[in-house]
Amino acid sequence: MSAEASMFQATDVVTQLNESPDYHASHVQELPLPSNFSWGTATAAYQIEGGADRGGKGKSIWDTFSHIEPSRTNGEHADVACDHYNRMPEDVDLMSTLDVDVYRFSLSWSRIIPLGGREDAISEEGIAFYDKLIDKLLEHDIEPVVTLYHWDLPQGLYDTYGGFLNTDEFRADFIHYARLCFSRFGSRVQKWVTFNEPYIISIFAHLNGTLAPGHCREQGTDTTTEPWRVGHTIILSHASVVQMYVSEFQSSQNGSISIVLNGHFYEPFDSQKQIDIDAAERRMVFYIGWFGDTIFLGQDYPIAMQEYLGVRLPKFTSEDLELLRQTAQFNAFYGMNHYSTKYARQLTDAPANDDWTSNIEEGPVNSAGVEIGPKSAQEWLRVAPEGFRKLLNWVWKRYRRPVIITENGCPCVGEEDLQVAINDTFRQRYFGLYLDAISRAIYEDGVDVMGYYAWSLMDNYEWAAGYGPRYGIVHVDYETLTRTPKGSAWYLRDTFKRRRVVLS
């Protein structure tokens, strides 16, 4: 390890970032990454495609939610978005210019099956769009990594039976949809993701109400049980699709399948208090272990969740547990979406009856008044690469699956100004520091990290925040739809050329 160790000089890069406003990306250490480490970009269908009424596409819950009055999405919707539906060849050519290895994108369920159900008609025009996208990527030697579900449930399924709230119906329809996708695209797709961020689907869409379909206490829904019912449906639907893929497609298509889980890392609010140390770990379990333990370990829900939630948490049958046990081994990689780190503080007052955190408060400042890291353009997203490294270790030690960073990135302050957006040194610094954290996790800690997909390929519709925060490495003018690569796009292209080396 001496060759590698000599490259890792201890330095407080976050302090440098704080103290030097014009600290340039090239000053990041640029620690090495394995020669076979893949890099790419990521997007989601609803956020970039547009074409809301093209090719027979049916409505999704986001088509509905983003048009509600009064608006719950900053008065904006994604009917056109980045117009990727019409500009797809241009976007793939752009990715090729950036020398990406991988493009992670999602399929719009309602573009493929407009009403969503297993008895409903299929749109060959919708399938043709994704056929062309996949073929175009392969022509440019870009690997397609395909997500089946990234938050845009067909409205027809929500109207018919409440979507995720009916486990049996949803599971049957999701299996049908997945089988169709595997049969039509699977010979050209080697990596599949079933669900993107089930925690967000469960909590933000069915408890906080900030995402479609917007369920929350104020809307009269049962927030004490709904999020856990939704999570239960996702876990069982995922396992069923994994079982189906392995038994029907994997031997002929030679692909792999898994799920993408998001998560912050949590540090104790007061590192001298055991109650906060325990709270930080328990917050990780409630956030990540909820889905990770069931899916990757094939186990029942974590004991801490069972004890705290009691009857609010659904029960797995013996058949369910056997399904989880049998399919756990086939989740080939751990898809990690990560952006920032927070402090966790254990509260002692009585929690709300729909509390989902184990009565834990989270925030960016600890008991000594120290901030977790510099702010991005969004208050919650701080630059905290050491927390990222710790999260990689936490996940690796718990699940022992190769990790793919399926999303990571940040918005910069002032990007409404084109010149600020193009010269996005803050984002370049963020990327550099987080790539260094991956390098340290690999070479110093022994974590198996396979690849890194930046969020996002281009500025896009950021859900309830509309078009405000810009996460793209490519700037999009939402009036002309002109694409302009930012400095971070060229930085990532060049840094991966330099960083990927063979170490003796």
Do the beta carbons of residue 331 and residue 401 sit within 8 Å?
yes
Give the max Cα distance, the chain.
62
Residues 6 or more apart whose CB falls under 8 angstroms from that of 189 comprise: 134, 144, 145, 146, 253, 255
In the residue annotation, 49 being an active-site residue is answered as no
Pull the structure tokens for residue 109: 């369920």
Q: Of the listed 386, 407, 415, 462, which one is catalytic?
A: 407
Rounded Cα–Cα distance for residues 157 and 196 (Å): 18
Verify whether residue 30 is a known catalytic residue.
no
State how far the Cα of 144 lies from the Cα of 240, in Å rounded to an integer: 23
> CA geometry: angle at 471 spanning 470 and 475, to 5°?
65
Q: How far is CA 110 from CA 59, 66, 88, 463, in A?
A: 6, 16, 18, 18
- Residue 276 contacts residue 269 (beta carbons within 8 Å): yes
Number of Cβ within 10 Å of residue 150's Cβ equals 24
Residues 6+ apart with CB under 8 A from 424: 412, 415, 486, 487, 488
- Catalytic-role residue among 197, 226, 386, 462: 197
Place of tokens 């970039």: 48
Q: Answer for the pair 365, 344: CB distance below 8 angstroms, yes or no.
A: no
Scan for tokens 């845009």, then name that residue.
Answer: 152
The C-alpha atoms of residue 318 and residue 297 are separated, in whole angstroms, by 16
Here the tokens at position 445 are 């800690």
CA separation for the pair 471, 458 (Å, rounded):
7
3-state secondary structure 163-228: HHHCHHHHHHHHHHHHHHHHHHHHHHCCEEEEEECHHHHHHHHHCCCCCCCCCCHHHCCCCCCHHH
Coil, strand or helix: which one is 391? helix
Peptide bond into 70 cis (omega under 30): yes
Q: Specify the 3-state DSSP secondary structure of 264.
A: coil
Residue keyed to tokens 């930012």: 486
Report the SS3 class of residue 12: coil
Query: How many C-beta atoms surround the C-beta of residue 235 within 10 A?
Result: 24
Annotated catalytic residues are 197, 407
